[in-house]
Amino acid sequence: MFISQAFAQAAPAPAAAPESFMGSLGSMLPLLLMFVVLYFVMIRPQMKRQKEHKAMIEALAKGDEVVTGGGMLGKVSKLGESYLHVEVANGVEIQVQRSAIVQVLPKGTFK
């Protein structure tokens, strides 16, 4: 009466066989594919844009007509190493960083 019934313990489930190389590669393939697409859709075009902007900034010369990041149009009057002076009206010059220039306009656009 005080002795409880003993039940046999169930056998443990067999361990899963290790995945083969192709199985693990197949599970990593979607991740690799997403990275490749991300590179060609986002990273590569951004690097190309940065390279073009850097070349444009280095090619600035006195007399170029430019647009700043704030949308101001002007003509480059003085060049410095990291800053340049832009004449926005007769006798009115502003000093801006070179990296603030977003576009070089064709000659004769700004009057």
Q: What is the pLDDT of residue 5?
A: 72
Q: In CATH, which of 2.30.30, 1.10.10, 3.40.190, 1.25.40 is domain 61-111?
A: 2.30.30
Rounded mean pLDDT of 73-77? Answer: 95
Q: What is the pLDDT of residue 78?
A: 95
CA–CA separation, 65 and 105 (whole Å): 5
Q: What is the pLDDT of residue 6?
A: 67
Percent of the chain with pLDDT strictly greater than 90: 67
Q: Which residues pair with 103 in a beta bridge?
A: 67
Domain residue ranges in the chain: 22-59, 61-111
Rounded mean pLDDT of 81-107? Answer: 94
CA–CA separation, 69 and 56 (whole Å): 14
pLDDT digits (tens, 9 = 90+) for 17-33: 565 666 777 788 889 99
Q: What is the pLDDT of residue 88?
A: 94
pLDDT at 69 over 80: yes
Rounded mean pLDDT of 96-107? Answer: 94
